[in-house]
Structure 1
Amino acid sequence: MSALRVVPTWRHGQERLYVCLTDGRNIAWYDRDTARVNLLSDERREDVLKALKPFLTGEVTIGPPPVPTPAELARLSLHPDDDLAPNRPGEALLIALDRDPSPPRRLRADPRRRALLAEQAVGEVLDRLDGAGWHILHSVPLPGGARIHHLAIGPAGLFAVHSLYARKQRIRVADPLVTVARQAPQPLLRRVRADADRASYALTAEVHPVLAVAGPADISITAPLREVRVLPHTDLPTLTHQDPVLKPADIESLHTQARTRQTWHHL
């Protein structure tokens, strides 16, 4: 009888232990979070449990893998070119800079590079929520060349997050105007709300607008904000502190819908 070996893997911050034959084929796996041993064949049940014995803690459920949910089946059938989930923070800017890099001796820095730094900083913070019941998408393309910088989907709801570079600069917010240091005020909050509205239409679910400021020295809000949050990017984890409004099945379904490129084509 072939010996079995246990191979640990990590995905979205969750550990899964695969039980493999010597030729590399998987015959079972153990999910620590669900305390479930999934058997592809009951013939090796005792051998699998013997191999996993050093790793099992407490009561575990043993049986065949659960039937895939509709969201899981839809995700499995999604063509890689139509899947937005692999997008990196600032994906669109990375592609643009690769195709058309800025000249090396410009007097002023390419503004795309600062925008990229902001999206990467915000994306890094948001990606830490992945695996804690949240799914994060980056650089979601919209018709007309626009895009949602980040889309967070979790128990507290859906959030369209726009990144703004402001390293060690003062930010003044007078809805809808946002002023960075001594630059001219820009009606940025209108765009942030518009992006969230378009996402709400595409997903038929309420999406909350958020402006995440990367590295500010200070944020001054001079009047109450209308349906939008403005916060330093390091404070984004506070979004998870709100009361849950979505169930796990709803989160998975919305994530599957949002990661599909065609969802955003008809806005």
Structure 2
Amino acid sequence: MIAERGPSTVQRLKAKLLRQSSEWDSWYAGLEGERRVGRELERLSPQGWRVLHGIEKGNGGDIDHLLIGPGGVFSINTKNHRGASVWVGDSMAKINGGKPRPYAAASQAEADFVRGVLGRYCAFKVPVEPALVFVGIASLDRAATQYSVRIYHEREVASLGPLTGKLTPDQVEQVFAVARHRRVWLRA
């Protein structure tokens, strides 16, 4: 596990007490954000949704979450920016008015990748949409032209639950069976 390669609990505590930043700080913040979003997604299970977390890709990256259910498949990218003001445009995001970050474009590319992988193994067209979920932020502003990526606060992600009409229960199970096999993603 990657966490085992990072600093020990004692080392992290010492750095925190001395107010020293660590190269692992952002990784741990990201992990905490993913866990929080994961808990929200798990709450959708009673509505027929299946969830996968931390899907490792062959290029060394990962997919934070896949949500598979009656409303289709959502490739979910989680960003933890505690206390920040976030603006999201068509392809970029700005955190506290800073330099543009390609969050929306990366989310769209990830959904395209997921669609291609699942499409190779399913006998039907798999509808995949990108979603970008921000954790711990103070405010979220979406550009009026931003329609290609779903943008949420962590607690808003539950609004995906009532979506229906894209996959039958059998198709949900078929997509989930394919998606949970590690080889599918590592070979892509």
Give the TM-score category using the shorter length: 0.7 to 0.9
Give 1:13-28 correspondences, 5 Å limit: none
CA deviation map 1:149-183 (0-9, x unaligned): 00000011100000010222110112211112254
SS in 2 for 1:144: coil
Residue among 19, 34, 37 paired with 1:122: 37
CA RMSD of aligned residues (A): 1.6
**Bigger relative contact order, structure 1 or 2 (CA pairs below 8 A, ≥6 apart):** 2
Percentage of matched positions with identical amino acids: 29
Query: Deviations for 1:38-75, whole angstroms, at most 9, x for unmatched residues?
Result: xxxxxxxxxxxxxxxxxxxxxxxxxxxxxxxxxxxxxx
Partner of 1:143, secondary structure, is coil
TM-score (norm 2): 0.85
Asked whether the 8 Å contact 2:127–2:166 carries over to 1, the reply is no
Are 2:5 and 1:99 aligned?
yes
Q: How does 1:78-93 map to 2 (within 5 A)?
A: none
**Partners of 2:116 and 2:187 in 1: how far apart?**
10
Superposition deviation, residue 266 in structure 1: 2.8
Query: Where does residue 242 of structure 1 map in the other structure?
Result: 163
> Paired residue for 2:50, among 108, 111, 135?
135
Judge conservation of contact 2:92–2:101 (CA < 8 Å) in 1. Answer: yes
Bigger CA radius of gyration: 1
CA deviation after TM superposition for structure 1 residue 206, in Å: 2.2
Q: Find the counterpart in structure 2 of residue 195 from structure 1.
A: 110
Secondary structure of 1:179 counterpart: strand
Give the TM-score, by structure 1 length.
0.61
Whole-Å separation in 2 of the counterparts to 1:227 and 1:221: 12
Query: Does structure 1 conserve the Cα–Cα contact (< 8 Å) formed by 2:79 and 2:133?
Result: yes
What are the within-5 Å matches in structure 2 for residues 1-267 of structure 1?
95-101=1-7, 103-104=11-12, 105=15, 107-108=20-21, 110-204=25-119, 205-267=126-188
Within 1, Cα distance between the matches of 2:128 and 2:159? 16
| AA of the residue aligned to 1:231 | Y
CA distance in 1, matches of 2:43, 2:97: 33
- Aligned residue number for residue 123 of structure 2: none
Distance 1:256 1:155 in 2: 15
SS of equivalent residue, structure 2 residue 184? helix
**Equivalenced residues, count:** 173
Q: Which runs of 5+ in 1 are unaligned?
A: 1-94
Report the residue type matching 1:158 in the other structure: V
User: Following TM superposition, where does structure 1 have runs of at least 4 consecutive aligned residues deviating by more than 3 angstroms?
Assistant: none
Which letter does structure 1 place at the counterpart of 2:158? P
How far apart are 1:226 and its partner, in Å? 4.2
How far, CA to CA, are the matches of 1:132 and 1:177 in structure 2? 32
